[in-house]
A and B are shown apart, each in its own frame.
Chain A
Amino acid sequence: MSMNRSDNERVVITGMGCVTPLGWDLEQVWAKLLAGTSAIRPIEQFDASSFPTTFAAEVRGYDWRPFVRHPERHEHAGANSSFALGAGRQAWAMSGLDDDGALDRDRVGIYLGSGEGSLDFFNYVATNLAGWNAAKREIDTAQWATAASQQMDRWREIEQEPNMPLYHLAAELEVGGPAYNCLTACAASTQAIGEAVEILRRGDADVMVAGGAHTMIHPLGMTGFIRLTALSGRNDDPATASRPFNATRDGFVLGEGSGMVVLESLAHARRRGAAIHGEVLGYGSSADAFRVTDMHPEARGAIAAIRDALEDAGLQPEAIDYISAHGTGTSENDEQETRAVSAVFGGHAAKVPISSIKSMVGHLIAAAGSVELITCILAMRDGKLPPTINLRDDQRDYHCPLDYVPNVARDAEVRYALSNSFGFGGQNDTLIVARPPQ
């Protein structure tokens, strides 16, 4: 319970950074979110014009180099690593720790929820086809290996492992504390932040950099989600395609990018006179243990995660002033998330504003939760809630009867905000944040 935690066990946020489809300057991204701006457009990275879904929320024109001090260490950085470097460096700069000569860098850890690298698609395909024995319907491995040695790129392949953004960020920040990457699908970066909080509470590190980085906007990533029928197919109108909680929603929209926070104990932050932007009060984590594809029909895993987070925060549901929804825009998620919130919050559910920024930036998959948590901090700071766009009165879903902050940002005093992330495979994670302690 938070009231019993000492200042050494209370965890605060002292740095934030992001790279998103709406930009990579936190304040500008926030202003665009409050303005209800969609970043969803036809895909430019490859020719997706024949795909059943042709659009996404892409990060365009981004360069990681201006953010880093040691560009020579990242020459081979893949897309996820480059996003992580930009967001991580921003957060680190905001924390002021770079100029803290007293910092013990072996007590600074990193916990990321980053995805697998983006596939070197055309070389990969060419290699596979060169190794294909059509008569036997199988790969001739020796022939394949020869083709691979000619086609494939060593560093592109090494960057595929999901711990590479972590490797780059550690090399950039020169930190040697506890280091993890978790990949629990769409819940990954929320879980990373939650586990980083636990590491700090226990005193296993002084500072943790936590967040996620991911893109699946590549031909096979799109293919995988299209085959799952998870993506919106509203090719004629990408900007309105992401419709969380709307009765006409037809799937989520892929986004890409990274969100990062710097976490430390309240005692550590105060000792060094750091500016504090918020406190992480509660974390809950559960598994559906139900099915590979579907959420539990009573949303038992989501309910458990939300309840555990409230209990960890020492709060009653009525204390929560804002919920940043997982809100993907799939038929199932939005209905089950609404069910879970209703079950936990009871009569208060209708009074809590809930919004999904995925309506504007798409679904950053492993990185989604980290960016969403940052928006909760900014919502508390400014007393403004970002909207769920593309919600029309004549398209209300009776399964989703709550207040989703439709279309326009709203002024609201927020003392406590809750952020949900639910992953394919049934991993559920919830974080609760509060305004900076007085």
Chain B
Amino acid sequence: MLINLPNARETGMSRRVWITGLGTVTAAGVGIDPLWEAVCAGESKIRRIERFDPSGFASQIAGEVRDFKANKIVPKSYRKSVKLMARDIELAMGAADAAVRDAALISPGSQPDDERTYPATRTGCNIGAGLIAAELNELTYALATARDEDGQFDLGAWGRAGMNELTPLWLLKYLPNMLSCHVTILHDCQGPSNTITCAEASGPLSIGESLRVIQRNAADMCFAGGAESKLNEMGMLRQHYTQRLCTNSNDQPHRAVRPFDAEAAGTAMGEGGGLVILESAETAERRGVTPYAELIGFGAGQTYYPQGNSLEPDPQGRGLATAIRAALREAQIEPAQVDLMAPFGSGVPAYDRAEAAALRSVFGDALDAIPLWSAKPYIGNCFAGSGAIDLSLAARMIREQKIPARINCDQPIDGLNCATAEAGHAAIEHALVCTTAMGGQNAALILRKV
């Protein structure tokens, strides 16, 4: 029973929502500019991991964010709180700061001495996150104090004394909602705030929810996106368990991730944060800011693949197709009107094929003419951060009317328009950003040039 009720947009009750600021922290650096330069130059930032010795893992490469610490960007008054920030939280702080500046906003976090430019109670914050792993040096130091004479861990000793080696606020470093918590405190966002935790779909779902929050007039502006780092021991282990990582290119990291290529052999770890400033068109117009694009469509859908337990994606990519169709319907455009797509494009063969099938089922033959662009060969899979980074790049592409270089795809599968190519001018009116996630959640967003 398909009931096509007119949605709020179709009935004209909805507010228009613009993207007015981009904030990314990636292996290319802090802010959208260094990332844009890298992708236009075709320069992959995937390298051998330096943060720890990766030799015990089959995949030893990553898009690592180097030379970044949150204490460089938070005001002095907030620096003590950085001690409470897991890496994921630091990345979110960096992305928020970059987004505020890019949107030409003044926040108590970015310029504490100046008058702020937005009302706290009308500002929301939706930052997607993932499972945050405890920092092992700190934890294991404490665990090691609770061993018996044979060197075995003794839970009794842990309960009596060992646990006291952990700082009292230890747990608060690792709660996924602490990304939003710190951003809402520093930038004073008192409106609706959520932490969506759906692996790689977290960022786009958070952006979609922010769109809805502004549309329904629960806020005028939102910090929206996601951030995550799994570049630690447990994150590496768990990603190896998912069997999605590329293990045959440790000696040539920049060639490792090959989205939609016949030779694709897996993805690479990444870490990063992406936050955009979404703003109602009327408040953005009032402060005279030039938007990157309008967000005109959003859809979500779940892949339920009866072969449970395998974690393989549904080969037909049905959940993703559901999400894209819903986004197109809201945007009120035909598939052929999409000029650019930034799909998940992870370089994991089964995921690439499922995604290609989903795109084919929605776009049919029109798909052959639409350029596909993926950031994964440049910065790896940034998990909860990845979709918002993709959206930021798509927004920049619309502003510049330019598609950055495409690398590592010599033989596109299924006739997809994604072969290796230099950066070049393109007329982009509409762009689709979509993501599929480990666990089956999918999200699609459609941008329009303003």
The chain A residues found within 8 Å of chain B, CB to CB, are 8, 46-52, 70, 72-76, 102-104, 106-107, 109-110, 116-117, 122, 125-126, 128-129, 131-132, 134, 137-146, 148, 152, 154, 157-158, 160-164, 166-168, 170-171, 173-185, 191, 195, 198-199, 202-204, 206, 219-220, 223-229, 268, 285-293, 300-301, 304, 308, 423-427
Interface of A is mostly: mixed
Scan B293-332; emit 1 where CB is below 8 A from any A CB, else 0.
0000001111111101101000000110010001000000
Q: Is the CB–CB distance between A191 and B194 below 8 Å?
A: yes
- Assuming the A-B contacts A129-B153, A177-B322, A179-B302, are A158 and B441 also in contact, with contact meaning beta carbons closer than 8 angstroms in the complex? no
Q: Given the known A-B contacts A292-B181, A293-B172, are A163 and B439 also in contact in the complex, defined by CB atoms under 8 Å?
A: yes
CB distance from B153 to the nearest CB of A (A): 5
Interface hits, B185-215 → A, CB 8 Å: 185, 188-199, 205, 209, 212
Cβ contact of A148, chosen from B129, B172, B233, cutoff 8 A: B233
- Across the interface, do A170 and B302 meet the contact criterion of CB distance under 8 Å? yes
Q: Which of A52, A157, A161, A293 contacts B169 (CB 8 A)?
A: A293
Q: Using an 8 Å CB-CB cutoff, how does the interface string of B139-175 with A read, 1 for contact, 0 for none?
A: 1110110010001010111111001101111111011
Task: Known contacts A122-B153, A180-B198; decide if A164 and B439 are in contact (CB<8 Å).
Answer: yes
* Inter-subunit contact B302/A109 (CB<8 Å): yes
Whether A177 and B301, one on each chain, are in contact in the complex, defined by CB atoms closer than 8 angstroms, is yes
Chain B residue at minimal CB-CB distance from A140: B53
Q: Which residues of B contact A73 (CB under 8 A)?
A: 306, 308-309
Question: By the criterion CB–CB under 8 Å, are A424 and B172 in contact?
Answer: yes
- Choose one: A128, A152, A182, A423; the contact of B140 (CB below 8 Å): A128
A-facing mask of B108-133, CB < 8 A → 1, else 0? 00000000000011001100011100
By the criterion CB–CB under 8 Å, are B147 and A180 in contact? no
Contact A158 B242 (CB under 8 A): yes
Q: How many A-B contacts are there with CB distance less than 8 Å?
A: 309
Q: Do A125 and B143 touch (CB < 8 A)?
A: yes
Please name all residues of chain A whose beta carbon is closer than 8 Å to the beta carbon of B174 when the two chains form the complex: 224
- B84, B156, B157, B175: which has the most chain A beta carbons within 10 Å? B175
**A106 contact set on B, CB distance < 8 A:** 301, 318, 322
B77 sits at the interface (CB 8 A): no
Complex contacts, B196 vs chain A, CB 8 Å: 180-182
Cβ–Cβ contact A219 & B155, under 8 A: yes
Question: Do B303 and A227 touch across chains, with their CB atoms under 8 A apart?
Answer: no
Q: How far is the CA of A102 from the CA of B2 in the complex (A)?
A: 9
Shortest Cβ gap from B298 to chain A (Å): 9
List B contacts of A304 (CB < 8 A).
121, 190
Bound complex: CA A365 to CA B326 (Å): 33
Q: Indicate if the CB atoms of B189 and A184 lie closer than 8 Å.
A: no
Chain B neighbourhood of A144, CB < 8 A: 56, 136, 233
* Count of B interface residues, CB-CB < 8 Å: 102
With contacts A158-B238, A182-B194, A268-B3 known, is A163 near B437, CB below 8 A? yes
Question: A76: which B residues are within 8 A, CB to CB?
Answer: 309
* Cβ contact within 8 Å between A300 and B153: no
Residue of A nearest to B134 (CB): A220
Binds A, one of B4-12, B359-367, B374-382, B402-410: B4-12
A166 contact set on B, CB distance < 8 A: 198, 302, 439-441
The complex places the Cα of A185 from the Cα of B193 at a distance, in Å, of 12
**With contacts A116-B176, A286-B191, A289-B190 known, is A179 near B156, CB below 8 A?**
no
B-chain residues with CB within 8 Å of residue A300 when the two chains form the complex: 190
Query: Would you call B229 an interface residue if the criterion is a C-beta within 8 Å of the partner chain's C-beta atoms?
Result: no
Residues of B within 8 A of A226 (CB): 163
Q: How far is the CB of A303 from chain B (nearest CB, A)?
A: 11
B residues sitting closer than 8 Å to A (CB atoms) are: 1-3, 5-8, 52-57, 81, 84, 120-121, 124-125, 129-131, 134, 136-137, 139-141, 143-144, 147, 151, 153, 155-160, 163-164, 166-172, 174-178, 180-182, 184-185, 188-199, 205, 209, 212, 216, 218, 233-234, 236-238, 241-242, 299-306, 308-309, 311, 318-319, 322, 326, 437-441
Q: Which residues of A contact B195 (CB under 8 A)?
A: 182-184, 427
The answer to whether A152 touches B237, judged by C-beta atoms less than 8 angstroms apart, is yes
Chain B residues whose CB sits within 8 angstroms of the CB of A128 once the complex forms:
136, 139-140, 143
At the interface, is chain B mostly helix, strand, loop or mixed?
mixed
CB pair A198–B309 under 8 Å, yes or no, is: no
Contact between A291 and B185, CB atoms less than 8 A apart = yes
Contact of A227 among B54, B153, B163 (CB under 8 A): B163
Contact A287 B190 (CB under 8 A): yes
Contact A424-B197, Cβ < 8 Å, known A46-B155, A106-B322, A300-B190: no
The contact of A184 among B2, B194, B437, by CB within 8 Å, is: B194
Q: Is the CB of A141 within 8 A of B52?
A: yes
Indicate if the CB atoms of B171 and A227 lie closer than 8 Å.
Answer: yes
Chain B residues with Cβ below 8 Å from A116 are 131, 176
CB-CB under 8 A from A74, the residues of chain B are 308-309
- Does B300 lie within 8 Å of A183, measured CB to CB? no
User: Among B155, B171, B303, which residue has its beta carbon within 8 angstroms of that of A225?
Assistant: B171
The reply to whether A184 and B177 contact each other, CB–CB distance below 8 Å, is yes
Contact among B147, B190, B194, B303 with A195 in the assembled complex (CB-CB below 8 Å): B194
Q: Are B178 and A292 in contact (CB under 8 A)?
A: yes
* Contact between chains at A178 and B311 (CB < 8 Å): no
> A177-B300, A425-B181 provided; 12 other pairs, C-beta below 8 A?
A72-B309, A104-B2, A109-B302, A128-B140, A142-B55, A163-B199, A163-B439, A179-B302, A223-B163, A288-B190, A289-B189, A426-B185
**How far is it, in angstroms, between the C-alpha of A75 and the C-alpha of B304 when the chains are bound?**
16
Roughly how many angstroms separate A220 CA and B191 CA in the complex, as a whole number? 32
Q: Nearest chain A CB to B348's CB is how many angstroms away? A: 15
Complex contact B175–A424 (CB within 8 A)? yes
Q: Are A154 and B241 in contact (CB under 8 A)?
A: yes
Which chain A positions have C-beta within 8 A of B163?
51, 223, 226-227
Residues of chain A with a CB closer than 8 A to B309's CB:
72-76
The 7 A-B pairs at the shortest CB distance, nearest first, are namely: A145-B56, A73-B308, A224-B171, A50-B159, A179-B302, A425-B181, A178-B300
In the complex the two chains form, what is the Cα distance from A47 to B129 in whole Å?
Answer: 32
B230 to chain A, nearest CB (A): 10
- B8 to chain A minimum Cβ distance, whole angstroms, is 6
Known contacts A158-B242, A286-B190: A177-B302 contact under CB 8 Å: yes
Question: Nearest chain-A residue to B168 (Cβ)?
Answer: A227
Q: Which residue of B130, B181, B302 is within 8 Å of A161 (Cβ)? A: B130
Contact of A180 among B164, B177, B205, B311 (CB under 8 A): B205
- Point out the residues of chain A lying under 8 angstroms from B84, CB to CB: 292
Which residues does chain A contribute within 8 Å of B189, judged by CB atoms?
287, 289
Q: How far is the CB of B22 from chain A (nearest CB, A)?
A: 22
- B7–A285 touching, CB < 8 Å: no
Residue of A nearest to B182 (CB): A292
B304 contacts A289, C-beta separation under 8 Å? no
Which residue from B54, B125, B159, B300 sits with its C-beta under 8 Å from A287? B125
Cα A418 to Cα B322 in complex, Å, equals 35
* Whole-angstrom CA separation of A138 from B52 in the bound complex: 11
